[in-house]
A and B are shown apart, each in its own frame.
Chain A
Amino acid sequence: MKWVVSLGAPLAALGFGAGVARYAPLDGAVALAWGQHLVVPLWVTLMCVLPLQKSARRAWLLCFGLAAPGLVGLAQGVIG
Chain B
Amino acid sequence: MKFSPRTFRAEWELHAWSGVIASWFLFVMFFCGVFALFHEELHAWQDPRSRDAPTAELPPVDFDELLAWVKAHGQPSVGALVGVYAEAESHMAYGWMSDEKTGAEENWAWNRVTGEPVPEITRVADELYYLHFFHRVPGGLEFSGVLGVLLLVATVTGVVIHLKDLKRQFWQFRSEMRARYSGSDAHKVLGIFGLPFVIVLGWSGVLLCLSTIVGGAFTWAAYDGQPEKIEELRSGGLPARFPSGRPAVGVAANELAARAQRAAGSSEAPRSLNVSGFGDEIATVYANFERHGFEPDRSVVLDGRTGAVLRSAVHDAPVAGAAFERVMFDLHFAHFGGVFVKFVYSALALAFCAVVVTGNVIWLERRDRERARLGNRVLERLIVGVCAGLCLATGVYFLANRLLPLDLGARGDVEFGLFLAVWAIAALIPFFVWRGARNATRGYAWAGAAAYLLVIVVDFAIESVHLGSFFTRALSAHEGEALVFELVIALLGLGAAAVALAQRPTSSSATSSSASSPPSTPPVSA
Interface residues of A (CB under 8 A from B): 3, 10, 14-15, 17-19, 21-22, 27-30, 32-37, 39-41, 43-45, 47-48, 51-52, 70-71, 73-74, 76-78, 80
Contact = CB atoms under 8 A, between A and B. Distances in A.
Counting chain A CB atoms within 10 Å of each CB, which of B152, B217, B233 scores highest? B217
Contact of A35 (B17, B153, B218): B218
A47 B153 contact: yes
Interface string B152-173: 1100110010000000000000
**Which of A3, A10, A33 has the most chain B CB atoms closer than 10 A to its own CB?**
A33
Interface stretch (B283-291, B319-327, B386-394, B405-413): B319-327
Contacts of A74: 220-221
Interface string B1-19: 0000011001101100110
B214 A73 contact: no
Contact of A18 (B221, B233, B324): B221
Contacts of B217: 14, 18, 70
B354 interface: no
Contact of B221 (A3, A45, A70, A80): A70
Contact of B222 (A21, A44, A52, A80): A21
B149 interface: yes
Contacts of A19: 221-222
Given A17-B218, A40-B149, A40-B203, A29 B234 contact: yes
A40 B10 contact: no
B319 A73 contact: no
A43 B149 contact: yes
Interface residues of B, number: 37
A73 B17 contact: no
Contacts of A22: 221-223
6 contacts: A19-B222, A33-B321, A34-B321, A40-B152, A45-B156, A74-B221
Nearest to A28: B233
Interface of B: 6-7, 10-11, 13-14, 17-18, 149, 152-153, 156-157, 160, 203, 206-207, 210, 214, 217-218, 220-225, 230, 233-234, 236-237, 319-322, 324
A74 B210 CA distance: 20
Contacts of A28: 233
A32 B324 contact: no
Given A29-B234, A32-B234, A48-B11, A40 B221 contact: no
Contact of A3 (B17, B222, B230, B321): B17
B214 A39 contact: yes
B221 A77 contact: yes
A44 B14 CA distance: 12
B214 A36 contact: yes
Contacts of A37: 207, 321, 324
A51 B10 contact: yes
Given A29-B320, A33-B321, A52-B10, A44 B221 contact: no
Given A37-B321, A52-B10, 4 more contacts: A18-B222, A29-B321, A30-B321, A43-B149
Contacts of B225: 77
Nearest to A76: B224
Contacts of B6: 52
Nearest to A27: B320
Given A29-B320, A40-B207, A21 B218 contact: yes
Contact of B320 (A33, A43, A76): A33
A32 B217 CA distance: 12
Give the one of A35, A47, A78 with max B CB within 10 A.
A47
B236 A29 contact: yes
A70 B216 CA distance: 13
Nearest to A46: B153
B17 A32 contact: no
A16 to B, nearest CB: 10
